[in-house]
């Protein structure tokens, strides 16, 4: 609920368990409080005026406010707030001052859409309200509308800004963040993800310094290196308790997520598009819409924070047919045969997969153009008749007769210099005239800031989808950006290219998901290089990592689960020895780890022994039975491979009637202790039967001592599927 107290000019945004309070003082929109739920009293005493000036300037005479000492909701560069700004503007007179003051407010039921950008949505009946606060710089006639949407039941607040030029001359935005939060303490740990290709979303937890800590991407995408979120946790916060503040972005382009410990032991968090390389010319009458930021406060530690994000992403970000539903069990051809397939090979592995209970064959890279390796043909999205003389027809017919779908890999945003498309349109890629064009994986990025390129991409996919033979698209993106320039934009708009690229991409995706609502789209970027809420708005799942090793995946999936739900993580059982690491891992461990909300195989099923085939059939049935629980359940991280020689987690259905728990042993030591795994989230007054072993436990036993674990050999693992005894 949103309340506004006009006498004290106080705004209060309440969810079921949290409050976010602001006020207007001397025209400035100040931050007052973010934390556990408050009553709707006068909270102004929480903002004590210290008058701390240090060397910072006073506004308008030596007794005026010291902006550098005020917690601000949307701080601007240039008038004496010397911390990281949310907004920086280049005015027509060459100055870079902005001075936003309160003008008006509006409270709306529900949530307006963000023009052209992905965002959390509200449906009829959802308890969601939106506050829009208008600020204005009366010198430059720049207006800024700050939007706050309050999801009462989800404990979620989303924010974005809309910046309008109401003056007569063009100005340039140098930085326009989505959100800023000024907290009045700095004794936090900062939790972020770092990583690289095949090692995404490693968790790092470090004390906040006095200074700026930034987790950013300049890669042309959210990237493998720093996922677009930032968490501030009380020093003692753990999985179950302690205060946690988290901000993530609903955006797939270059981001900057920063926390700055200030001179007065405060902390400023700024989240938004990365200002490096960004310039946006705003002509008179134009409005720039920032991406959305999503804010979660949890007093139940990191576990509580994650479950809040998981529910919000599952219920109010992911859309379409597969929202809140398990996905088809699939076989992906990549690690089964890489580029080395033809129709007969695909018929064999597809038929075998279907007979083992799988529901989708995905033909990965190599089916188009003349692509037999990664040096050619991106852009030439016509079937390679040398490999597939009958196109997909025979494969599709055989699969459909067996009740199985067909999926296809695409990398639509890319172009190989060795392609017919490049020979026809050398100016369709991002480039700067007269400079060399850097290649990554022998490819260039198409210029999606251009409408003709976007239309071409849409048509390349739509023409195939219209044939009705394709049920699933794996949408890949395999390089970082360089020489970002567009042949169609004038020099003063070249700083807009990357954001325009994402507006173009989102428009193509919106058209595709609207026109082909039955197709399941999976996002991929060399695995998890574009794992963000922006992509999840269009595609309900992401290939978590090109590292398919079950043991390596433990840390990757743990880190991913900080923000993203199991439903969004694709996990595949791959071959042993693993192709990336050489690890030899038992089949049941590979299954136990791959069993996320989006499950499949990535190996040649014809090479499995009879015993392994039996296991695959039985476990496909397990996923079919419990997939919806994995998608919609509450996820608890129980043991961390970052600090222990094991990893464990459990997922509990919302009604607490089913619990799926997994324990993986990553290192064997002599004389191990009697290991047991304490479960969480169950009904302590109920009894649960282990459906695999038959043993019955009380909820108190399971959440007190837990289940007994045998740590018998390296990489051994166990799964418990517990169902409430009626």
Residue 137 or 365: the one with the smaller Cβ distance to ligand GLA is: 365
Smallest distance, ligand GLA to C-beta of residue 409, A: 5
Residue 427 annotated as catalytic: no
Q: How far apart are CA 27 and CA 8, in angstroms?
A: 13
Smallest distance, ligand GLA to C-beta of residue 521, A: 14
* Cis peptide bond prior to 549, omega within 30° of 0: no
Residues 6+ apart with CB under 8 A from 170: 92, 281, 282, 283, 284
Smallest distance, ligand GLA to C-beta of residue 527, A: 5
Quote the distance between the C-alpha of residue 447 and its chain's center.
Answer: 23
Smallest distance, ligand GLA to C-beta of residue 524, A: 5
Q: Is 275 exposed, middle or buried (0-12, 13-18, 19+ CB in 10 A)?
A: buried
Which structure tokens are listed for 86?
């949310």
- For 632-714, strand residue ranges (E) read 634-639, 646-652, 658-665, 676-677, 687-690, 696-698, 707-708
Active-site entry in 99, 145, 365, 546 = 546
Residue 208 or 473: the one with the smaller Cβ distance to ligand GLA is: 473
Smallest distance, ligand GLA to C-beta of residue 369, A: 13
Q: How are beta strands 156-165 and 292-298 bridged, if at all?
A: antiparallel
Residue 528 or 681: the one with the smaller Cβ distance to ligand GLA is: 528
How many CB atoms lie under 10 A from the CB of residue 632?
22
Q: How far apart are CA 82 and CA 265, in angstroms?
A: 15
Q: How far apart are CA 408 and CA 469, in angstroms?
A: 10
Q: What size, in residues, is the chain?
A: 726
Residue 262 or 600: the one with the smaller Cβ distance to ligand GLA is: 600
- Nearest 5°: the CA angle 531, 583, 528 is 5
Q: How far apart are CA 269 and CA 252, in angstroms?
A: 19
Residue 188 or 409: the one with the smaller Cβ distance to ligand GLA is: 409
Residue 315 or 364: the one with the smaller Cβ distance to ligand GLA is: 364
Residues 6+ apart with CB under 8 A from 227: 192, 193, 200, 201, 215, 531, 532, 563
Interface positions with ligand GLA (CB under 6 A): 334, 364-365, 374, 409, 476, 478, 524, 526-527, 543, 546
Category of 500 on φ-ψ map: left (φ > 0), alpha (ψ -120 to 50) or beta: alpha
Q: At which residue do the structure tokens 């920086």 appear?
A: 88
Residue 409 or 428: the one with the smaller Cβ distance to ligand GLA is: 409
Smallest distance, ligand GLA to C-beta of residue 533, A: 20
Q: How far apart are CA 578 and CA 550, in angstroms?
A: 9
Smallest distance, ligand GLA to C-beta of residue 374, A: 6
Please list, residue by residue across 125-144, b when 16 or more beta carbons sit within 10 angstroms of its beta carbon and e when fewer do.
ebebbbbbbbbbbeebebbb
Residue 452 annotated as catalytic: no
Secondary element (H or E) of residue 21: strand 18-25
Please list, residue by residue across 476-493, b when 16 or more beta carbons sit within 10 angstroms of its beta carbon and e when fewer do.
bbbbbbbebbbbebeeeb
Q: Which residues pair with 650 in a beta bridge?
A: 636, 661
Smallest distance, ligand GLA to C-beta of residue 377, A: 11
Listed residue (406, 422, 403) closest to 367, CA to CA? 406
Residue 69 or 476: the one with the smaller Cβ distance to ligand GLA is: 476
Which structure tokens are listed for 638?
């129980």
Residue 4 or 339: the one with the smaller Cβ distance to ligand GLA is: 339
Active-site entry in 99, 155, 365, 476 = 476
Q: How far apart are CA 394 and CA 390, in angstroms?
A: 7
Q: Is 206 exposed, middle or buried (0-12, 13-18, 19+ CB in 10 A)?
A: exposed
Residue 54 or 196: the one with the smaller Cβ distance to ligand GLA is: 196
Residue 486 or 578: the one with the smaller Cβ distance to ligand GLA is: 578
Contact 144, 136 (CB under 8 A): yes
Smallest distance, ligand GLA to C-beta of residue 238, A: 33
Smallest distance, ligand GLA to C-beta of residue 337, A: 12
Quote the distance between the C-alpha of residue 19 and its chain's center.
Answer: 25
User: 24: helix, coil or strand?
Assistant: strand
Query: What is the phi/psi pair of residue 163, to 5°?
Result: -110, 125
Rg of the chain taking only CA atoms, in angstroms: 26
Residue 496 or 552: the one with the smaller Cβ distance to ligand GLA is: 552
Q: How far apart are CA 304 and CA 234, in angstroms?
A: 14
The DSSP annotation for 610-650 comes to: HHHHHHHHHHHHHHHHHHHHHHHSEEEEEE-TTTSSEEEEE
Smallest distance, ligand GLA to C-beta of residue 570, A: 10
Smallest distance, ligand GLA to C-beta of residue 509, A: 18
Please list, residue by residue across 512-541, b when 16 or more beta carbons sit within 10 angstroms of its beta carbon and e when fewer do.
bbeebeebbbbbbbbbbbbbbbbbbbbbbb
What is the set of active-site residues?
A: 476, 546
């Amino acid at each position: 609920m949103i309340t506004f107290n006009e006498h004290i000019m106080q705004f209060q945004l309440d969810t079921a368990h949290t409050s976010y309070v602001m006020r207007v003082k001397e025209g400035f929109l100040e931050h007052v409080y973010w934390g556990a739920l408050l009553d709707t009293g006068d909270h102004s005493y929480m903002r004590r005026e210290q008058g701390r000036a240090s060397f910072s300037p006073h506004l308008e005479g030596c007794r005026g406010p010291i902006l550098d000492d005020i917690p601000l909701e949307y701080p601007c560069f240039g008038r004496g707030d010397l911390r990281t700004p949310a907004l920086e503007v280049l005015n027509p007179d060459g100055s870079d001052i902005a001075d936003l003051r309160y003008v008006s407010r509006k409270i709306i039921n529900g949530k307006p859409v963000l023009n052209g950008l992905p965002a959390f949505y509200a449906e009829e009946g959802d308890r969601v309200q939106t506050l829009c606060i208008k600020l204005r710089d009366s010198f430059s006639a720049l207006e800024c509308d700050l939007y706050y949407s309050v999801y009462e039941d989800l404990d979620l607040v989303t924010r974005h800004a809309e910046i309008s030029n109401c003056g007569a001359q063009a100005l340039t935005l140098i930085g326009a963040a989505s959100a800023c939060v000024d907290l009045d303490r700095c004794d936090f740990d900062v939790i972020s993800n770092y990583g690289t290709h095949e090692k995404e979303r490693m968790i790092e937890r470090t004390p906040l310094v006095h200074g700026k800590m930034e987790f950013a991407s300049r890669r042309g995408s959210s990237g493998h290196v720093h996922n677009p979120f930032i968490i501030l946790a009380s020093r003692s916060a753990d999985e179950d308790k302690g205060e946690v503040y988290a901000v993530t972005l609903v955006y797939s382009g270059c981001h900057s997520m920063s926390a700055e410990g200030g001179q007065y032991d405060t902390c400023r968090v700024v989240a938004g598009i990365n200002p490096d390389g960004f310039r946006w010319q705003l002509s008179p009458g134009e409005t720039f819409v920032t991406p959305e930021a999503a804010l979660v406060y949890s007093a139940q530690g990191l576990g509580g924070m994650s479950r809040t994000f998981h529910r919000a992403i599952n219920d109010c970000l992911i859309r379409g047919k597969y929202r809140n539903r398990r996905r088809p069990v699939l076989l992906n051809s990549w690690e089964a045969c890489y580029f080395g397939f033809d129709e007969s090979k695909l018929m064999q592995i597809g038929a075998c997969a279907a007979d083992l209970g799988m529901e989708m064959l995905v033909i990965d890279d190599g089916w188009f153009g003349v692509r037999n390796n990664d040096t050619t043909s991106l852009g030439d999205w016509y079937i390679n008749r040398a490999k597939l003389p009958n196109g997909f027809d025979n494969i599709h017919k055989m699969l459909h007769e067996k009740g199985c779908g067909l999926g296809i890999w695409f990398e639509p945003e890319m172009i190989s210099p060795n392609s017919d498309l490049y020979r026809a349109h050398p100016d369709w890629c991002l480039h700067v005239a007269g400079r060399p064009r850097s290649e990554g994986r022998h490819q260039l990025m198409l210029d999606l800031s251009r409408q003709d390129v976007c239309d071409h991409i849409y048509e390349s996919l739509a023409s195939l989808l219209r044939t009705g033979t394709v049920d699933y698209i794996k949408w890949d993106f395999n390089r970082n950006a360089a020489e970002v320039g567009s042949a169609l934009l004038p020099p003063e708009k070249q700083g807009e290219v990357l954001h325009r690229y994402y507006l173009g991409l989102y428009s193509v995706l919106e058209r595709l998901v609207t026109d082909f609502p039955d197709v399941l789209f999976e996002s991929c970027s060399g695995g998890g290089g574009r794992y963000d809420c922006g992509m999840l708005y269009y595609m309900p799942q992401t290939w978590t990592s090109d590292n398919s090793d079950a043991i390596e995946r433990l840390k990757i999936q743990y880190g991913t689960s900080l923000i993203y739900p199991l439903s969004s993580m694709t996990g595949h059982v791959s071959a042993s020895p693993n192709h990336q690491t050489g690890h030899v891992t038992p089949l049941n461990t590979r299954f136990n780890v791959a069993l996320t909300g989006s499950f499949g195989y990535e190996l040649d099923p014809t090479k499995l022994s009879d015993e392994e085939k039996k296991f695959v059939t039985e476990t496909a049935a397990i996923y079919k039975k419990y997939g919806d629980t994995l998608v919609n359940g509450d996820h608890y991280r129980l043991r961390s491979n970052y600090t222990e020689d094991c990893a464990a987690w459990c997922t509990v259905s919302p009604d607490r009637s089913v619990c799926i728990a997994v324990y993986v042993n990553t290192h064997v030591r002599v004389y191990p202790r009697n290991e047991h795994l304490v479960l969480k989230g169950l009904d302590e007054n109920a009894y649960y039967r282990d459906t695999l072993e038959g043993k019955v436990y009380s909820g108190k036993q399971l959440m007190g001592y837990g289940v007994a674990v045998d740590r018998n050999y390296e990489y051994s693992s166990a799964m418990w599927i517990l169902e409430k005894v009626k």
